[in-house]
């Protein structure tokens, strides 16, 4: 499993960035939210979405990240240089660590959920989760934890997709 941090210090694609973090409590759940402003990248990051591709990381893009205490996911919302909402990417993870309140961390459990700008939901990387179990990187208990967390998130999102987009957009505007 990879441990990732909110400042994304391990991401070599980011050549220049700025970062602001603050306390939050979305839906009554305390945590930290940040905005990562991407100033320069080694190359843009394009991902498949639906029938096409979108660029989620390039110069002048911004990412809102949210980590909540006790929650088994890490939220990253992407915005382009024209301030358009692109998508929300949920890393299914062990509950985040706040040992450094300016740079929370999480252990990525391979499985991901995406909420697109069209309010479509997709589960990604199930094969990576299965492969991690097969190779012994994780045990069955960890795999079951990730699957249960994913199911719980999917059920919650069914009734809160628009609320989630409104929340990350508000955070983006406030922190921009």
Per-residue model confidence as pLDDT tens for the chain (176 residues):
899 999 999 899 999 999 999 999 998 999 999 999 999 999 999 998 877 899 999 999 999 999 999 999 999 999 999 999 999 999 999 999 999 999 999 999 999 999 999 999 999 999 999 999 999 999 999 999 999 999 999 999 999 999 999 999 999 999 99
CATH for 3-175 (2.40.380, 2.40.50, 1.10.10, 1.10.3470)? 2.40.380
Residue 147, sorted as left (phi over 0), alpha (psi -120 to 50) or beta, turns out to be alpha
Do residues 100 and 126 lie in contact, with contact meaning Cβ atoms separated by under 8 Å? no
CA angle 31, 120, 162 (to 5 degrees): 50
Gap between the Cα atoms of 42 and 39, Å rounded? 11
Which DSSP helix (H) or strand (E) runs through 45?
Answer: strand 45-49
Do residues 12 and 42 lie in contact, with contact meaning Cβ atoms separated by under 8 Å? yes
Gap between the Cα atoms of 53 and 31, Å rounded? 32
- pLDDT score, position 50: 76
| CA distances in angstroms from 158 to 2, 17, 22, 106, listed in the order given | 29, 34, 28, 25
Gap between the Cα atoms of 31 and 22, Å rounded? 9
Give me the residue spans of the domains in the chain.
3-175
What residues form DSSP beta bridges with 135?
none
């Amino acid at each position: 499993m990879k441990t990732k941090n909110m400042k994304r210090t391990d991401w070599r694609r980011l050549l220049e960035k700025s970062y602001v973090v603050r306390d939050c409590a979305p839906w009554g759940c305390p945590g930290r939210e940040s905005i990562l402003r991407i100033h320069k990248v080694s190359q843009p990051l394009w991902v498949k979405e639906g029938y096409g591709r979108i660029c989620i990381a390039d110069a002048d893009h911004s990412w809102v990240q949210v980590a909540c205490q006790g929650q088994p996911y890490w939220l990253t919302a992407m915005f382009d240089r024209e301030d358009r909402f692109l998508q929300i990417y949920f890393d299914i993870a062990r509950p985040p660590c706040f040992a450094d309140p300016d740079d929370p961390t999480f252990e990525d459990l391979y499985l991901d959920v995406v909420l697109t700008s069209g309010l479509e939901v997709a589960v990604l990387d199930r094969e990576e989760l299965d492969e991690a179990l097969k190779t012994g990187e994780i045990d069955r208990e960890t795999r079951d934890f990730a699957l249960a967390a994913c199911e719980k998130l999917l059920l919650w999102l069914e009734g809160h997709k628009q609320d989630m987009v409104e929340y990350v957009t508000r955070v983006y505007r406030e922190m921009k």
